[in-house]
Every structure is written in structure tokens, then in C-alpha cells.
Amino acid sequence: MNIDNMNLLIATLEAEVFPDGKAFTFDMASWINRSDCGTVACIAGTAAILGGMKDLWLGGVRDFAANWLDIDRADSYNLFLWTGKLDYHEINRDVAVACLKRFRDTGTVVWLRK
């Protein structure tokens, strides 16, 4: 796992501001959605933007984000797609950040309600 990139992802989600100062809204049900009003993204979408993915519309967001975070396919599935018993709409920014911190610290993806 790339700890520096994981910490940047966590800090960005906590602040809901990209390093360039542009605000975004976290939504686990949306890979990446950009409009004149701003960006909406899930964990993988946020990681892909932070990692510099050039063409966000052609797909491959999950793989790009996993490579940027240096995590394997199983962990990327558990982190980006399979959320246990939680529905995507139950995963707010705080729930996602807590999951990412647990994963960073233990190497295990565990989704818990806050």
C-alpha cells in the first residue's frame, strides 16, 4: 500500500477539497460526476482524480485507483465495490474515512456504520 497516497486520499475526503483548492462532494454511489457546479466522486473516483487519471470518462477508474494506492484487486473490490451490509447511501464521508483509516492501519477493509 502506498501510505502517502492513502493519507492524501484520507485528508482530501476529510476536507472535501482537492489539493488545488477545488471543492467536491463525496458520494459512494457516483464514480465521478463533474459539472459546472463541481465534482461528485466516490473513494475510487477521488483517488483517480488525485492520481492524475486523464480520461475519467472511459472507465478503468477502479484499476487506476487501485494502482495509485498500490492495493491488490481483492482489496480494491472490498474498498470500492463491496461494502458489506451497508448500502452505498449509508456510506457518508465519515464512514468512508473511518474505513480507509482502518484499512491503512490494519490492512483489512471493514465497513462499519457510524
Place of cell 485507483: 65
**Total-model pTM:** 0.91
Average pLDDT over residues 5-30: 92
19, pLDDT greater than 70: yes
Across the chain, what does the average pLDDT equal? 90
3-state secondary structure 41-110: ECHHHHHHHHHCCCCCCCCCHHHHHHHHHCCCHHHHHHHHCCCCCCCHHHCCHHHHHHHHHHHHHHCCCC
22, pLDDT greater than 70: yes
- Percent of the chain clearing pLDDT 90 (strictly above): 60
Average pLDDT over residues 71-84: 92
Could you tell me the pLDDT band of residue 76, with boundaries at 50, 70 and 90? very high
